[in-house]
Chains A and B, each alone.
Chain A
């Protein structure tokens, strides 16, 4: 059960200073060149005002767009391997929305089922999340349709909900308590604040969708929905739960590095064999894979969804492939 406090707006400065003094980097949404993006900040004033969400997702903090898996030097008849150490700075993710905070669980499911991914885990261990509940939404949001909510505490170590003069602070985890303990003077007794968040209506019946997908694989709906899809990776790259990656090498005559980079199931190269055979040759097959991965395979393999309803894909899509709308259509008979 969470410990609730009142965190006055002015006390945010105290909290930020205490976190910095503890050696932690604070990543928060900023408005830079007209774009809301995660950047390191020093003080609460650097945090974006009135943002809905960042363009890219919070997954960057634990699963960056490029990271080194190892290095090597090559000689005549010899190779030396150099293991890569995860670049895991103690970090506080401030101001992420509940949808994104809950997304780390879906990443963890993939990175740590069966074998453990050291790079992801090192960053997660060094990461603490101070989420901020939503008092605003847009038409792309559908968190409540996928088990989340604008005030959901899942994935946050501390969740702040805006109230008059500051925030209702729910201290949720050991990591949250450790952060609160760095600035005890900032956290005042809760005078019985009401946790008021925006209303996000449920857009479709998700359990029904997941059931419906079982017998909808060969349906023409995937061709129809994906006709306008241009096959770029914008949806996957902005997604807080899209975890698919590529492993590439960059080298010169003396050695090089093996890197992990984000990848997208939307591109035709993703599954292309060296022989030229491609199991997912058409855009319709690739679009179907995206929907099934998140709403059929994830539930089957990990007993959870691979989608948090943040709507980033919908906002990023150059051709308005609106996920919520397409899911609602697919959920129907």
Chain B
């Protein structure tokens, strides 16, 4: 039996680079190999390992929606060796991609429900994939609410898309920045995400909540959702444990016996409550 090399990435060309925020960029990537492009599909919530050849691989979610064919997008902040090398790339440069890996958001199970998206800072990208997926299937869902907070106005990512969502009558968008993060002319809210969610007071009836953000935001938002009456099985998040293989082998992403790269990255709060808090 001949096995293929599961560690070999696809080559992808950077079709477009968007500067989102200080040290945060979005790459639009297209497969260089037509056969690989034709064979590729993914679902919202899945992730990949992106190579800057010569430096290594880094793990990010696929930030675009599976409904948008022909490319994938990733959004990353320059934080380490690989992301620094990726940040140096220009349009037309070649990077590597392995994926899609991991589980997904079960959006078909949410038909007829309200959706509340709650995101903080650089954690909007995983939810952005779901948001566009759901907006492209808008008839499936009832009310769609998006709460997005960042440290400052400059740190808000997808600024054009925020305007687009704000303009849509079928989306309720609330953007907030941390106290002190506002600038003259800022017309959005000023305040941390958890109290903003509490003040918004979304109804838990027939509603799914999706929460992504820095650990402290998640930690403080979950009790708010519980207080509002959201049951743990209606709250979804994604984990971002460190990974090297994405294939359930390298051994570093586990939280308890659950491999974030295989059994996650998408978990309900109910599932997380049954796992050790090693994330």
Chain A residues with CB under 8 Å of chain B are 69-70, 72, 74, 77-79, 81, 83-84, 110-111, 113-119, 121-122, 217, 243-249, 251, 255-256, 258, 260, 263, 265, 270-275, 277, 279-280, 285, 289, 292-293, 296-297, 300-301
Contacts and interface: CB of A to CB of B under 8 A. Distances in A.
B92 A77 contact: yes
Nearest to A83: B5
Interface in B250-274: 250-252, 254-257, 262
Contacts of A122: 3
A275 B79 contact: yes
A248 B51 CA distance: 11
Nearest to A114: B248
A10 B6 CA distance: 45
A79 B250 contact: no
Contacts of A78: 94
Given A115-B6, A247-B57, 20 more contacts: A69-B8, A72-B53, A74-B54, A77-B93, A79-B53, A83-B5, A110-B251, A118-B4, A119-B5, A121-B1, A121-B3, A245-B249, A248-B56, A251-B54, A255-B53, A258-B7, A270-B242, A275-B79, A279-B241, A293-B251
A244 B9 CA distance: 20
A292 B276 CA distance: 11
Contacts of A292: 256
Interface of B is mostly: loop
A127 to B, nearest CB: 15
B240 interface: yes
Contacts of B247: 114-115
A117 B251 contact: no
A248 B55 CA distance: 8
A279 B278 CA distance: 5
Contact of A251 (B53, B80, B240, B249): B53
Interface of A is mostly: mixed
B248 A297 contact: no
B242 A271 contact: yes
A217 to B, nearest CB: 5
A109 B71 CA distance: 35
Interface string B49-63: 000011111100000
Contacts of B256: 292, 297
Nearest to A125: B1
Most chain B beta carbons < 10 A, residue from A81, A111, A285 = A81
B279 A297 contact: no
Contacts of A248: 56
Contacts of B55: 249, 251
Nearest to B11: A79
A79 B83 CA distance: 18
Contacts of B255: 279
B83 A274 contact: yes
Given A244-B252, A245-B249, A280 B262 contact: no
B69 to A, nearest CB: 24
Most chain A beta carbons < 10 A, residue from B54, B79, B262 = B54
B251 A69 contact: no
A301 B257 contact: yes
Contacts of A77: 92-94
Interface residues of B, number: 44
B245 interface: yes
A142 B80 CA distance: 43
A74 to B, nearest CB: 5
Interface string B195-237: 0000000000000000000110000000000000000000000
B173 to A, nearest CB: 26
A258 B98 CA distance: 14
Contacts of A113: 248
Given A78-B94, A83-B5, A277-B215, A245 B244 contact: yes
A271 B241 contact: yes
A297 B254 contact: yes
B245 to A, nearest CB: 7
Nearest to B84: A274
Contacts of A256: 53-54
Contact of A246 (B7, B9, B250, B262): B250
Contact of B251 (A70, A72, A245): A245
Contacts of B4: 118
24 contacts: A69-B8, A74-B54, A79-B53, A79-B96, A81-B96, A110-B249, A111-B249, A113-B248, A114-B247, A115-B247, A115-B248, A244-B250, A244-B252, A247-B244, A247-B250, A248-B56, A249-B53, A255-B53, A265-B252, A271-B252, A274-B83, A275-B79, A297-B254, A301-B257
A270 B244 CA distance: 10
Nearest to B256: A297
A69 B254 CA distance: 23
List the 3 closest A-B pairs by CB distance, nearest first: A244-B251, A118-B3, A251-B54
A56 to B, nearest CB: 19
Nearest to A80: B11
Interface in B78-116: 79-80, 83, 92-94, 96
A84 B5 CA distance: 8
Contacts of B6: 115-118
A247 B245 contact: yes
A77 B4 CA distance: 27
A90 B205 CA distance: 64
